[in-house]
Structure 1
Amino acid sequence: MTDSLALSVERTIEAPVEQVWSTMTDRIEEWFCPRPWRAEARVLEWRPGGRSLIVMHGPDGEEMPNEGVVLAFEPNRRFVFTDAFTADWHPAGPFMVGIFEVTADGGRSIFRATARHWTEEAFAQHRDMGFEEGWGTMADQLKALAESN
């Protein structure tokens, strides 16, 4: 499989996988989008086929709903989601498949966030709208939270 339409960021986190995983899932609203924006997990069913509705709120009152479906949920390893469907498998978008994964590296962890895109246009759009900076900030926020536990 080729990842030619994938964008990703990676961080080494000075915490064990279980601690990072707990932060990833239990505190998602605190790290999921770059400040000064904030995330609100209105619906988040942590299971394959579960609904995901996270609304990002901007500093000037903007609201950006991100609705999709959880495709995979493997505790202490990864969760995968897509915006290609909404609740009850209604087709939508699609823009991307997101993969957030954590692996052990001695007593620390490697966190990787990847966005796989359906088309070259979606890939270029996501890259050009600041993927590296935005998802990089998100990863830094997760790192800071997980290391402070």
Structure 2
Amino acid sequence: MNELSVTRLIAAPPAKVWDALVNRTNEWWCPVPWRAEVDWGERRAGAATHTVMYGPDGEVHQHPGLILAWDEGRRVASTDSIVGDLEPNTPFMIGIWEIAPEGDGTRYTARARHWSVEAMEQHREMGFEQGWNACTDQLQALCER
């Protein structure tokens, strides 16, 4: 499988991590100094989702997509390969964000699954590890306050 992932044990209960994951997404989604506006839409499989990422130099990146799974309190998954009214889009990845109770805290795992080794390597070269770890740091700090 062409997957990149980040996992972290967060010292907070699953309900708090889930709340931050899906209700406070804009506070942790992009590594600072970037910021994001994430609209999860109807919060169900098959619903449209839309993210806009803003860079420190005025960059604006639109990311429409489709929610593939919304398992309340446990997992959300989306893809950029389908947009609008089931319109094919040039795919980059499937994103999966999962939480599970572990000891006194919560195991958070974020996965990026790609259609090809080339796309996975492109994502790695774009700074996947640094970027997704920075986002995870921000989520963890938000949850452990």
Same topology, TM > 0.5: yes
Match for residue 131 of structure 1? 128
Match for residue 106 of structure 2? 109
Question: Structure 1 residue 23 and structure 2 residue 7: aligned?
Answer: no
Paired with 2:39 and 2:102, the residues of 1 have a C-alpha distance of 33
Contact map agreement 1:45 1:70 (CA 8 A) in 2? no
Match for residue 47 of structure 1? 44
Paired with 1:38 and 1:18, the residues of 2 have a C-alpha distance of 24
Q: Which runs of 5+ in 1 are unaligned?
A: none
Superposed displacement of residue 45, structure 1: 2.8
Within 5 Å, give how 1:57-96 maps onto structure 2: 57-96=54-93
Superposed displacement of residue 65, structure 1: 1.0
Superposed displacement of residue 40, structure 1: 1.0
Superposed displacement of residue 86, structure 1: 0.5
State the one-letter code of the partner of 2:129: E
Paired with 1:20 and 1:43, the residues of 2 have a C-alpha distance of 16
SS of alignment partner, residue 88 of structure 1:
coil
Q: Which runs of 5+ in 2 are unaligned?
A: none
State the one-letter code of the partner of 1:145: L
The runs of at least 4 aligned residues of structure 1 exceeding 3 Å deviation read none
SS of alignment partner, residue 80 of structure 1:
strand
Superposed displacement of residue 67, structure 1: 1.1
Please tell me the root mean square deviation across aligned C-alpha atoms, in Å: 1.0
Q: Determine which of 115, 138, 143 is the counterpart of 1:141.
A: 138
Q: Percent identity?
A: 46
Match for residue 9 of structure 2? 12
Match for residue 33 of structure 2? 36
Give TM-score, length-normalised by structure 1. 0.94
Paired with 1:43 and 1:147, the residues of 2 have a C-alpha distance of 23
